[in-house]
């Protein structure tokens, strides 16, 4: 089969490699649609973010190596011994982070807390290939109401479900969200479906603000023209929002906000409120802990998404409570387009992309 393999940072080549053979509790799948996550797109070009050192080490010791591709829609073509939940012909999506199934947490029924297991696309081969092998434990069936293109967004959406769950939104809470890329728009829609009251979004791109309004934001602030902290405070009677999601931080090299939006999030939340940290920054940063302590702020991080989160994600997308199609702006055709998908996703502002660029494989 054809598969993209990394020989180093910024060195991606389309190789002919053996098609994987089925193993117990695994399935062989044909890839229908795949997209690089923003994190993967940064790592592909050697930008520091989550897992940079691990990926660097793999490239130095194992190249050429199949990397990335954990956001996908695939069709099962073969099932291994022990597979009971799926059959040939099923369309499935997956969560990326898996439990190790061998640590004390896993043995005590708390697999959702395990951080020792592999990640699809990082330790396990992902789906930038014609076929792939995937563990049954990672998978959920895709509802017929969801397109292949939308299904490739489900893994990201499940992480957004976990983020909103962490916020524990109360009915009528005011919610502000910095960043209206794919996860910011997902968190916004899930917050609305979870009982949020006034929803205020912030981005520096007019196209992102426009999609945000289309998908349900009450106010979409263009931070290139207005001071978002001042506007949020004005809209909340001077108090600040009850909950603020920070979804914009990260490497300025890739058009992300650095740490500026975290500072703005802290200034935008009411005393006693919550900040949900969705972004990955890629390096240590300074936070004024005394300020958080003095204002009784809670800076919270989401748990990894579980199969239960992913199953709920399928219901949200199939029912239309969360709309994914308006966020999908760049769809490419054929496996040869994968490098272009990485380029667009790593530079979404330049290409006016909202969701990562997708590759339809057939």
Residue 334 belongs to domain with CATH number: 3.90.180.10
Q: What is the pLDDT of residues 257-305, one digit of tens each?
A: 888 999 999 999 999 999 999 998 888 888 999 999 999 999 999 988 8
- The CATH number for 170's domain is 3.40.50.720
- Widest Cα–Cα separation across the chain: 62
Q: Do residues 145 and 214 both lie within one domain? A: no
pTM: 0.93
Q: Do residues 168 and 291 both lie within one domain? A: yes
d(CA 302, CA 304): 6
In a domain, 316, yes or no: no
d(CA 1, CA 16): 6
Q: Do residues 250 and 337 both lie within one domain? A: no
For the beta sheet containing 241-246, the strands, ordered from the edge strand earlier in sequence to the opposite edge, are 219-222, 199-203, 175-178, 241-246, 269-277, 298-300
Please report the pLDDT score of residue 186 as a whole number. Answer: 97
Q: Do residues 24 and 99 both lie within one domain? A: yes
In a domain, 313, yes or no: no
Q: Mean pLDDT in the chain?
A: 95
Q: Give a three-class secondary structure readout of the chain.
A: CEEEEEEECCEEEEEECCCCCCCCCEEEEEEEEEECCHHHHHHHCCCCCCCHHHHHHHHHHHCCECCCCCEEEEEEEEECCCCCCCCCCCEEEECCECCCCCCHHHHCCCHHHCCCCCEECCCECCCCECEEEEEHHHEEECCCCCCHHHHCCHHHHHHHHHHHHHHCCCCCCCEEEECCCHHHHHHHHHHHHCCCCCEEEEECCHHHHHHHHHCCCCEEEECCCCCHHHHHHHHCCCCCEEEEEECCCECHHHCCCECHHHHHHHHHEEEEEEEEECCCCCCCCCCCHHHHHHCCCEEECCCCCCHHHHHHHHHHHHHCCCCCHHHCCCEEECHHHHHHHHHHHHCHHHHCCCCCCEEECC
Q: Do residues 292 and 332 both lie within one domain? A: no
Q: Do residues 236 and 114 both lie within one domain? A: no
Please report the pLDDT score of residue 284 as a whole number. Answer: 86
* Domain span including residue 49: 2-153+328-360
pLDDT at residue 254 is higher than 80: no
Which of 81, 47, 78, 97 is closest to 283 using CA atoms? 47
pLDDT at residue 362 is higher than 90: no
Average pLDDT of the residues in 65-72:
98
Q: Do residues 294 and 338 both lie within one domain? A: no
Average pLDDT of the residues in 160-173:
97
Kindly list the distances between the CA atom of residue 293 and the CA atoms of 229, 238, 262, 273, in Å, as whole numbers in the listed order. 20, 20, 16, 12
Q: What is the pLDDT of residues 98-128, one digit of tens each?
A: 999 899 999 998 888 888 999 999 999 999 9
Give the end-to-end CA distance of the chain in Å, rounded to a whole number. Answer: 14
Q: What is the pLDDT of residues 11-63, one digit of tens each?
A: 999 999 999 999 999 999 999 999 999 999 999 999 988 899 999 999 999 99
| Structural domains of the chain, count | 2
Virtual torsion, Cα 204, 210, 211, 213, nearest 10 deg: 110
Q: Do residues 57 and 181 both lie within one domain? A: no
pLDDT at residue 251 is higher than 90: no
Please report the pLDDT score of residue 240 as a whole number. Answer: 98
Please report the pLDDT score of residue 257 as a whole number. Answer: 80
Please report the pLDDT score of residue 216 as a whole number. Answer: 96
Average pLDDT of the residues in 230-248:
97
Q: Do residues 221 and 283 both lie within one domain? A: yes
* 345 φ/ψ angles, rounded to the nearest 5 degrees: -70, -35
Q: What is the pLDDT of residues 312-357, one digit of tens each?
A: 999 999 999 999 999 999 999 999 999 999 999 999 989 999 999 9
Q: Do residues 148 and 164 both lie within one domain? A: no
């Amino acid at each position: 089969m054809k598969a993209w393999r990394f020989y180093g940072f910024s060195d991606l080549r389309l190789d002919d490699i053996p098609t994987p053979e089925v193993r117990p509790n695994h399935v062989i799948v044909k890839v229908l649609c795949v997209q690089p996550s923003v994190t993967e797109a940064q790592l592909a070009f050697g930008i520091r973010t989550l897992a940079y050192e691990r990926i660097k080490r793999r490239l130095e010791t194992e190249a050429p190596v199949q990397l990335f591709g954990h956001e996908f829609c695939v069709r099962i073509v073969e099932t291994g011994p022990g597979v009971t939940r799926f059959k040939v012909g099923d369309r499935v999506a997956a969560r990326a982070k898996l439990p190790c199934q061998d640590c004390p947490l896993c043995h005590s029924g708390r697999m959702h807390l395990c951080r020792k297991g592999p990640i699809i696309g990082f330790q396990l081969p992902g789906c930038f290939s014609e076929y792939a092998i995937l563990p049954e434990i990672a998978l959920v069936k895709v509802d017929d109401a969801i397109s292949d293109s939308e299904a490739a967004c489900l893994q990201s959406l499940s992480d957004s479900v976990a983020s909103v769950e962490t916020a524990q939104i109360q009915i009528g809470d005011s919610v502000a969200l910095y960043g209206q890329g794919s996860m910011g728009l997902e968190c916004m829609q899930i917050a609305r479906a979870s009982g949020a009251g006034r929803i205020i979004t912030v981005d520096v791109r007019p196209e992102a603000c426009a999609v945000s309004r289309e998908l349900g934001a009450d106010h979409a602030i263009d931070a290139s023209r207005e001071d978002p902290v001042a506007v949020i405070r004005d809209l909340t009677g001077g108090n600040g929002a009850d909950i603020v999601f920070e979804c914009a931080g990260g490497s300025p090299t890739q058009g992300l906000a650095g740490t500026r939006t975290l500072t703005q999030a802290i200034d935008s939340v009411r005393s006693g409120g919550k900040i949900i940290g969705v972004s990955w920054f890629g390096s240590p940063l300074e936070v004024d802990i005394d300020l958080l302590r003095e204002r009784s702020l809670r800076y919270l991080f989401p748990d990894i998404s579980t199969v239960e989160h992913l199953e709920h994600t399928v219901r949200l997308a199939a029912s239309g409570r969360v709309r994914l199609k308006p966020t999908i702006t760049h769809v490419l055709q054929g496996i040869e387009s994968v490098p272009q998908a990485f380029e667009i996703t790593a530079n979404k502002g330049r290409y006016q992309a909202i969701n990562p660029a997708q590759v339809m494989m057939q």
